Amino acid sequence: MAMLPSLPTSPLPPKPQEAQEDQECSDFISTLPRGGWGPIRTRKYQGFWVLEIALPSVMTIQKNFKPRPDDLFVVSYPKSGTTWLKAITFATKTRTQYPLSHHPLLSLNPHDCVLNLEECFHKGQASKIEALPSPRILAIHMPYSLLPDSMTSSSCRFVYICRDPKDTLVSMWHFREKTRPKTMEPTPFIEAFEAFCEGTSAVGPMWDHVLEYWRESQRRPEKVLFLKYEEMMDEPVGKVRRLAEFIGCPFSEAEEKGGVVQEIVKLCSFEKLKNLEANKTGTQGGPGMVVTNDSFFRKGGAGDWKNHMSPEMAQRLDGIAQQKLRESGLTLGSVGLEAASCNDVPARGP
């Protein structure tokens, strides 16, 4: 039976050499351009705007992280369906180890089942990642170009999910407002909108983040599976089947007849997860930002941007995305995500 992550432990005080390296890192970060909005404070690093508090861990991952050949990474631009994809991937991959009627997702938040690599390094808990048995399922938000060569050149695989930028922005704004320090003034939506358009939000610009994984999925479909939030909502059973094929554990004929795919979809549905006690209580995060589990379950649908943006704002954001993605074969627009789908490419083994 696969081991689940243990509860977080406090990191040990840094050694003198580590303290010096931390200071050198802080000094370097202080020289980088600043961006963001409200509670989102970012620095421009290697072409992307990274959360200031997360940048040291990103740099450490680039320098020290050693992936395993069978690692599976769940990837997304923040607030693009991360929680849902973690749940679906974990349930699909571990279905032979845990009966769905007594699955860990019924008592644990998806973020407890699939650890975030940047967060563990940020909390000084890289040892938790190393302690996980293979094959590991880990989550990241890092752009593809910021990943170390050890990840991009190995046989580890990536499942990427993207979402309409307008809904992504609205979800991010709500999430950050709910988790902002009480001492900080609320951020007007228009301020978040302007920063998002400028690309200075966390791990932005979003279109660059999406485009890097999209291009890699076209170049190496056996390494990157590119999924679309809206399509998963419309056809969850088919997408779960495709996911299972990609990660090397397709559903058997007996599982198909037994309705296992549908059971996984039901277990990981927004309404099911939202109403579980584990997702109504408890917290996630670490130094600098602690969030409650219920913060990850607001609406879970598509099109909520219409309640926050004027038609002119929506057209502006769509126009930026269309310009940035020109000739890529991928479009981000008012009807969600429209592009030639990787799902037409036959799945390959590990």
Instruction: List active site positions.
Output: 141
Alpha-carbon distances, residue 42 vs 12, 34, 201, 203, 295 (angstroms): 27, 6, 7, 8, 21
Maximum CA pair distance of the chain?
60
* Joined tokens for residue 20: 């010096």
DSSP string covering 57-91:
HHHHHHHH----TT-EEEEESTTSSHHHHHHHHHH
Contact predicate 288/53, CB 8 Å: yes
Which residues are within 8 A (CB) of 119 and not within 5 positions of it... i.e. 6 or more apart?
A: 57, 285, 286
Please measure the distance between the N-terminal and C-terminal CA atoms of the chain and give it in whole angstroms: 21
Q: State the residue for tokens 């088919």.
A: 238
What's the burial of 102, exposed, middle or buried (CB within 10 Å: 0-12/13-18/19+)? exposed
Q: Which candidate, 318, 340, 39, places its Cα nearest to that of 206?
A: 318
* Joined tokens for residue 293: 């589990």
Instruction: Identify the sign of the CA torsion 89, 95, 98, 100.
Output: positive
Alpha-carbon distances, residue 141 vs 51, 261, 283, 349 (angstroms): 11, 27, 19, 25
- Point out which residues pair with 261 in neighbouring strands: none
